């Protein structure tokens, strides 16, 4: 391990285990942001998946570490705290509503009795609609065969987005990193183009997203609650007033219809929000909303832009790095 990483891990650990650290975190809450839990750690390691995916071994390692240092609580225990506990609190959140949350994450949440909140992009739930970055990324990664890959490369070229030669590098890490950069660049394409490209990717046998029966089963366990993460996952700050209202209403109504006790918490797609979006979210009966700015929640600050810490495969494998980031986030 690099010296710098070791130092970060050690000072993070000291922080969690020192009176100063414990004092600072007393009564504070840490909200973690995850997306997917894949079936394989090896698959999650690759740079183009690392940020949004963790593997089962890394996820289990993270849960054990969290239980050692924190009280693992439902999100609402942090947002509307009752009794103050001795230890700092942590709440797990998952964005988008991936099917693997039920298949791979839930059995481990249950094993360790760690509560979680899942934020659904409601148009995807119970449908075969796909998330563009997953379909395009995995097709370009050749997960669906060379023919599909070549076809997609042609389509991208036509849209003025030729695949960089680094995406053909024989070294897997470099190839994956180049793909990550390329995918990030595609965010500037229009939603229409992205949808068309996604439709051109081969369909997997199983839907990417949860279905409502799975949502119902997870909710019935008492361990998981759900909230909205947009309907179509459109970036809210880019929508006009009417479309913004439609996204917020449609996602809220889908949750009210599909869940017994939906959370009064909105979760912005991509974390993007501004004053107009926050005002509209409040108007749609959400007193709380999650952004992606990092920090610790102490009951102060804007409840419509709550901070979170993202968890990647790398941090799940080395949670000491997470305590370093919490330490940085906690410093005044």
> Which of 44-52, 88-96, 175-183, 251-259 is the region at the interface with Zn ion (rule: CB under 5 A)?
88-96
Beta strands in 99-219 (DSSP E): 116-120
By CB under 5 A, name the one of 41, 45, 95, 247 that touches Zn ion: 95
For Zn ion, the closer CB: 229 or 317: 229
Cβ neighbour number for residue 82 with a 10 Å cutoff: 8
Question: Total residues at the site for Zn ion (CB under 5 A)?
Answer: 3
For Zn ion, the closer CB: 28 or 120: 120
Packed helices 132-140 and 146-158: angle between N→C axes, nearest 10 degrees: 120
Residues 255-274, interacting with Zn ion (CB under 5 A): 269
Q: What are phi and psi of 235, to 5 degrees?
A: -75, 115
Q: How far is the CB of 14 from Zn ion (least distance, A)?
A: 34
Tell me how far CA of residue 242 lies from CA of 38, 245, 248, 253, 286, in angstroms. 37, 5, 10, 16, 18
Dihedral, CA atoms, 27, 33, 313, 96, nearest 10 degrees?
160
For Zn ion, the closer CB: 44 or 234: 234
> Which of 18-26, 48-56, 74-82, 93-101 is the region at the interface with Zn ion (rule: CB under 5 A)?
93-101
Closest residue to bound Zn ion by CB: 95
For Zn ion, the closer CB: 60 or 95: 95
Please, which residues bridge with residue 297 across strands? Answer: 29
Q: How far is the CB of 96 from Zn ion (least distance, A)?
A: 4
By CB under 5 A, name the one of 96, 100, 123, 138 that touches Zn ion: 96
Name the pairing type of β-strands 224-228 and 265-267. unpaired
For Zn ion, the closer CB: 202 or 310: 310
Q: Which ranges in 164-318 belong to alpha helices (H)?
A: 172-186, 191-199, 212-220, 241-258, 275-283, 313-317
Q: Please report, as ranges, the residues that interact with Zn ion according to CB under 5 A.
A: 95-96, 269
């Amino acid at each position: 391990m690099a010296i710098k990483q070791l130092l970060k891990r050690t000072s993070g650990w000291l922080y969690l285990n020192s009176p100063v650290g414990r004092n600072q975190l007393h009564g504070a809450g840490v909200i973690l942001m995850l997306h997917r839990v894949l079936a394989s750690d090896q698959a999650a390691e690759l740079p183009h998946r690392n940020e949004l995916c963790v593997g089962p071994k890394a996820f289990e390692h993270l849960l054990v570490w969290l239980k050692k240092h924190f009280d693992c609580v439902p999100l609402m225990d942090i947002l509307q705290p009752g009794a103050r506990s001795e230890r700092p609190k942590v709440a797990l959140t998952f964005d988008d509503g991936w099917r693997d949350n039920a298949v791979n994450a839930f059995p481990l949440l249950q094993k360790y009795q760690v509560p979680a909140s899942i934020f659904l992009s409601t148009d995807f739930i119970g449908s075969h609609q796909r998330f563009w970055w997953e379909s395009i990324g995995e097709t370009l990664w050749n997960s669906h065969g060379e023919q599909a890959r070549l076809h997609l490369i042609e389509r991208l070229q036509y849209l003025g987005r030729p695949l960089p030669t680094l995406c053909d590098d024989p070294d897997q890490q470099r190839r994956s990193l180049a793909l990550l950069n390329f995918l990030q660049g595609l965010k500037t394409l229009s939603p229409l183009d992205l949808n068309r490209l996604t439709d051109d990717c081969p369909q997997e046998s199983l839907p990417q997203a949860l279905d409502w029966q799975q949502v119902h089963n997870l909710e019935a366990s008492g361990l998981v609650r759900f909230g909205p993460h947009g309907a179509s996952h459109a970036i809210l700050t880019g929508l006009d007033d009417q479309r913004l209202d439609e996204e917020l209403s449609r996602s809220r109504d889908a949750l009210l219809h599909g869940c017994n006790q939906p959370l009064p918490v909105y979760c912005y797609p991509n974390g993007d929000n501004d004053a107009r979006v926050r005002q509209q979210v409040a108007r749609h009966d959400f007193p709380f909303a999650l952004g992606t700015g990092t920090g610790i929640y102490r009951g102060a600050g804007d409840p419509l832009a709550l901070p979170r810490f993202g968890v990647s495969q790398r941090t799940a494998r080395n949670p000491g790095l997470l305590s370093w980031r919490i330490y940085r986030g906690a410093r005044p």
